Amino acid sequence: MYYVLVGILALVAGVALGFFIARRYMMTYLKKNPPINEQMLKMMMMQMGMKPSQKKINQMMAAMNKQQSK
């Protein structure tokens, strides 16, 4: 009886701990390796027919970083 209870508690604790470790790992990975960098942003703007200036790229990157940090 107690073996089953201990087993269930260990399983629940393992799942919870694994979730938080995986979440923290992904947050640090995305912070170090953002999904969109300046080169990608510049190419997307050129594909949309915009003439990207460095000021506009910097503004968009700052807005994306601000949104990501929330």
Q: What is the pLDDT of residues 47-58, one digit of tens each?
A: 999 898 999 999
Question: What are the structure tokens assigned to 32, written together?
Answer: 């170090």
Same domain, residue pair 41 and 26: no
Torsion-angle region of residue 49: left (phi > 0), alpha (psi -120 to 50) or beta?
Answer: left
This prediction has a pTM of 0.53
Number of domains in the chain: 2
pLDDT of residue 25: 96
Same domain, residue pair 24 and 45: no
Same domain, residue pair 42 and 19: no
Same domain, residue pair 41 and 70: yes
Sequence-distant (≥ 6) Cβ neighbours of residue 49 within 8 angstroms: none
Same domain, residue pair 53 and 64: yes
Termini Cα distance of the chain: 46
pLDDT of residue 54: 92
Domain that holds residue 10: 1-33
Same domain, residue pair 20 and 48: no
Same domain, residue pair 28 and 41: no
**Would you say residue 26 has pLDDT above 90?**
yes
More confident residue, 47 or 34: 47
